[in-house]
Amino acid sequence: MSGASYTTRGGVAVITLDNPPVNGLGHALRTELVAAIDRANADPAVRALVLVGAGKVFSGGADIKEFNTPKALAEPTLHTVIRAAEESPKPVVVALNGLAMGGGLELALGCHYRVAAPGAPVALPEVKLGILPGAGGTQRLPRAVGLETALEMIVTGAQVPVERLRGTALVDEIVEGDLVAGAVAFAERIADRHPLPRLRDRKVEHPDPEAFLQFVRKSVAAASRGLAAPGKCVDAVEAAVTLPFEEGKAFERSLFLELVQSAESKALRHAFFAERAASKIPDVPDDTPTRPIRTAAVVGAGTMGGGIAMNFASAGIPVALLEVKPEALEKGVATIRKNYEASAKKGKLTAAQVQEAMALIRPTLHYADLAQADIVIEAVFEDMAVKEQVFRRLDEVMKPGAILATNTSTLDVDRIASFTRRPGDVIGTHFFSPANVMKLLEIVRGAETSKDVLATAMALSKRLRKTGVVSGVCDGFIGNRMLEQYLRQCLFLVEEGALPQEVDAALEAFGLAMGPFRMSDLAGNDVGWYIRKRRYVEKPHVRYSKIADRICERGRFGQKTGAGWYRYEPGRREAIPDPVVEELVVAYRRELGLAPRKISREEIVERAVFALVNEGAKIVEEGIALRASDVDMVYLTGYGFPARRGGPMHYADSVGLYNVVRAMSRFAANPHGDPAFWTPAPLLARLAAEGKSFS
Ligand SMILES: NC(=O)c1ccc[n+]([C@@H]2O[C@H](COP(=O)([O-])OP(=O)(O)OC[C@H]3O[C@@H](n4cnc5c(N)ncnc54)[C@H](O)[C@@H]3O)[C@@H](O)[C@H]2O)c1
């Protein structure tokens, strides 16, 4: 069913929105809604109408299956449906049985009365897609709930339980018990009241709207990190205060059309669909059975192991945490407690929630305590010999059917699986630091990983509130393999004439949460040094700038040693440019015989970002990533790539692949930037030549 059903109860027509899973307002449903409203009005026995949603949700808004199709714009549009309800000569009562979001809430606001089940949430989340509510939401919501609440809801997109709006015109009654019966009784009570109340006829009440809007505008500008939509939401809501309804609505429409065509909104919508696409694995259908995960275990209580254990505890899953030495175990548990208490101090958790989470963590020194866990995640030192010892042990003790996962960042998951007699049960779960905070979880599918293990890991990522992205086995998986090329180019830029702080500033202006040098100082420069030393042996033909080694040779490992690419004052995280680094850079350039040149911000951004794109294209072509949008998800959720750019691959699409390839041929002419690297990946070259894009 993807339409509206119609029944009558006494003198009330009950129209049920029925378009699973969330009653999206698709074309078929919109058509039937208008027909049902007309039918009720044509029937002399009907005195009032009730609109209710089938299932748990009233309506999730636009039907995402119809996004970017002609159906989305076909009549009757949502505007027409809302007009039909608002202009109905008989009263229309909406019964909010559950979530009313976006267009679903706009429809409800266009009706004459609203009753709700307790706890039904309402939201206008359009801002999260870089747009604003375009069917009267910015004009009717402030008239219903007041300026302050409406601004908060529209600018943040957050869900608000209907109880919080009790006493406003958004909710006339909260119905305990049978909602439809309550709504029908309500409709019968008000059936003869005239004139019909319409939100459009109300005024927005506020003692000093001008001053309040000015205050909001300032805080929104500060918080929206270069995004346009939140500010436009304020503009649209202001129109609800200053303009008559129809003019305000026309203004809302013009802002909506402006935003919907913006690069920013296209990027945010791309990310919305990319997130959904990432959970689809072509040869692992949605109905693949998963293994139950009731208990978990983590081996190693260091930086990552502690954070991973927190993820399980926060999701309510009991987790055993194993270390070899009691001191390491105590330290790991103390860090976990400190992190939880810090969240409690910020008001994110209650003291009781901290206690509950801590009670789910079971520290141990004995493998026997892990044996019954449904999944075990290994997070010990990044050393194949140590991993071998741990996996051989896990193979001995873990119950049959347990999933054996490794958090390795660089080692071969297939080799790790070979240390067990059950390679089908082995998988990589690559968390990002800090593991209790970062959204990304790369799920590394080994050659023998079985499909149900993969499906279970993907389902687990959702329970842990992570974005799971599947990666094949290769050095660095998706994210770090691309990062290596990006960092190489950033170091070449320093050799050629840019200072670390200039590279960081250019990329931060582009929108990255942190430039590469500040990021390296945070992660620890020794990590990259360790990897480069391995590369010098494995790949002697690849050129690496040695300037990063010079920094490390002086013990400048970053924030943890008080100095790296920058210097740091004790107890502070602010990166302060350091003349010592500049001297090292200048001396190194002299050694290479390189005369520094002025490098534009544009070149910095293009070389750094297109390095990601070229490696990303290879990763897609090799099947390491299932699709280009998965690469984008990795960078958006794990590497601070700006949401308004949609990820590196989407950004390349927006620049045009032809232009990307042209820029690469310019870079290839520069002998210092690794000309061989700038040969476009075959997939990129082919798409550019055919005038196509990655998505
Ligand atoms: N730090 C990061 O940013 C990061 C990010 C992603 C993945 N990783 C990977 O996660 C793993 C752990 O890294 P980390 O940064 O947490 O290291 P860490 O040094 O902070 O912690 C490792 C812990 O493992 C313990 N350990 C060592 N051998 C053990 C054994 N045989 N049995 C039980 N415990 C043992 C150590 O006592 C230590 O507490 C590595 O594979 C690393 O590559 C790290």
pTM for the model stands at 0.92
For ligand 1, whether the C-beta of 299 sits within 6 Å is yes
Residues 6+ apart with CB under 8 A from 42: none
For ligand 1, whether the C-beta of 380 sits within 6 Å is yes
pLDDT of res. 64 = 81
Q: What is the secondary structure of 396-463 as a DSSP string?
A: HHSPTT-EEEE--SSS-HHHHHHTSS-GGGEEEEEE-SSTTT--EEEEE--TT--HHHHHHHHHHHHH
| Catalytic site includes residue 553 | no
For ligand 1, whether the C-beta of 433 sits within 6 Å is yes
pLDDT tens-digit map of 72-88: 889 999 999 999 999 99
Rounded distance between C-alpha atoms, residue 121 and residue 188, angstroms: 25
Instruction: Using the mean position of ligand 1's atoms as its centre, give its distance from the Cα of residue 309 in Å.
Output: 13
Looking at the predicted structure, is the pLDDT value of residue 68 above 80? no
Looking at the predicted structure, is the pLDDT value of residue 2 above 80? no
Residues 6+ apart with CB under 8 A from 63: 19, 24, 25, 26, 27, 29, 72
CA-nearest of 84, 54, 48, 47 to 179 is: 54
Q: What is the secondary structure of 400-418 as a DSSP string?
A: TT-EEEE--SSS-HHHHHH
pLDDT of res. 205 = 87
Looking at the predicted structure, is the pLDDT value of residue 413 above 70? yes
Sign of CA dihedral 164, 63, 196, 44: negative
**Length in residues, the chain:** 695
Measured N-to-C along each axis, helices 601-621 and 648-655 cross at an angle, to the nearest 10 degrees, of 110
| Atom 11 of ligand 1, nearest CA residue | 379
Q: Grade residue 367 by pLDDT with cuts at 50, 70 and 90.
A: very high
Instruction: Using the mean position of ligand 1's atoms as its centre, give its distance from the Cα of residue 299 in Å.
Output: 9
111-125 average pLDDT score: 98
Rounded distance between C-alpha atoms, residue 17 and residue 6, angstroms: 9
Contacts of 245-248 spanning 24+ positions with Cβ under 8 A: 245/139, 245/200, 245/201, 248/138, 248/139
For ligand 1, whether the C-beta of 305 sits within 6 Å is yes
* From 32, 106, 323, 502, active-site residue: 106
Ligand 1 atom at minimal distance to the Cα of residue 301: 39
| Residue 179 contacts residue 240 (beta carbons within 8 Å) | no
Looking at the predicted structure, is the pLDDT value of residue 379 above 80? yes
Looking at the predicted structure, is the pLDDT value of residue 177 above 80? yes
| Residue 308 contacts residue 431 (beta carbons within 8 Å) | yes
132 φ, ψ (degrees, to nearest 5): -140, 165
pLDDT tens-digit map of 325-345: 999 999 999 999 999 999 999
Sign of CA dihedral 236, 239, 240, 244: negative
Please state, in angstroms and as integers, the Cα–Cα distance from residue 326 to each residue in 322, 323, 330, 365, following that order.
10, 7, 6, 7
For ligand 1, whether the C-beta of 379 sits within 6 Å is yes
Sign of CA dihedral 322, 328, 330, 332: negative
Residues 6+ apart with CB under 8 A from 309: 298, 301, 319, 321, 336, 361
427 φ, ψ (degrees, to nearest 5): -150, 155
pLDDT tens-digit map of 211-230: 999 999 999 999 887 899 99
Burial 316-349 (b: 16+ CB within 10 A, else e): ebebbbbbeeeeebeebbebbeebbeebbeeeeb
Please state, in angstroms and as integers, the Cα–Cα distance from residue 109 to each residue in 160, 194, 288, 390, following that order.
15, 18, 41, 59
Ligand 1 atom at minimal distance to the Cα of residue 386: 31
Q: What is the average pLDDT value for the chain, to the nearest integer? A: 96
Residues 6+ apart with CB under 8 A from 223: 230
pLDDT tens-digit map of 305-325: 999 999 999 999 999 999 999
Rounded distance between C-alpha atoms, residue 131 and residue 332, angstroms: 44
Task: Return the ∠ at Cα 661 (arms to 660 and 667), rounded to 5°.
Answer: 90
Rounded distance between C-alpha atoms, residue 38 and residue 49, angstroms: 11
| Catalytic site includes residue 126 | yes
Rounded distance between C-alpha atoms, residue 106 and residue 80, angstroms: 12
107-132 average pLDDT score: 97
pLDDT of res. 265 = 94
pLDDT of res. 1 = 58
For ligand 1, whether the C-beta of 274 sits within 6 Å is no
- Residue from 298, 299, 304, 559 whose mutation best tests the ligand 1 pocket (most atoms within 8 A of CB): 304
Instruction: Using the mean position of ligand 1's atoms as its centre, give its distance from the Cα of residue 608 in Å.
Output: 29
- Residue from 339, 378, 381 whose mutation best tests the ligand 1 pocket (most atoms within 8 A of CB): 381
pLDDT tens-digit map of 10-60: 999 999 999 999 999 999 999 999 999 999 999 999 999 999 999 999 999
Q: How many Cβ atoms are within 10 Å of 178's Cβ, its own excluded?
A: 11
Within 450-499, residue ranges assigned H as helices are 451-463, 477-496
Measured N-to-C along each axis, helices 103-110 and 137-145 cross at an angle, to the nearest 10 degrees, of 60
Question: Residue 277, Cα to own-chain centre: how many angstroms?
Answer: 13
pLDDT tens-digit map of 351-360: 999 999 999 9
CA-nearest of 513, 499, 485 to 566 is: 499
Instruction: Using the mean position of ligand 1's atoms as its centre, give its distance from the Cα of residue 379 in Å.
Output: 5
For ligand 1, whether the C-beta of 407 sits within 6 Å is yes
Instruction: Using the mean position of ligand 1's atoms as its centre, give its distance from the Cα of residue 586 in Å.
Output: 36
Looking at the predicted structure, is the pLDDT value of residue 677 above 70? yes
144-158 average pLDDT score: 97
Structure tokens at 145: 């709930």
Instruction: Using the mean position of ligand 1's atoms as its centre, give its distance from the Cα of residue 71 in Å.
Output: 52
Rounded distance between C-alpha atoms, residue 393 and residue 531, angstroms: 27
- Residue from 298, 299, 303 whose mutation best tests the ligand 1 pocket (most atoms within 8 A of CB): 303
Q: DSSP class of residue 639?
A: S
238-258 average pLDDT score: 97
Instruction: Using the mean position of ligand 1's atoms as its centre, give its distance from the Cα of residue 356 in Å.
Output: 25
Share of the chain above pLDDT 70, in %: 100
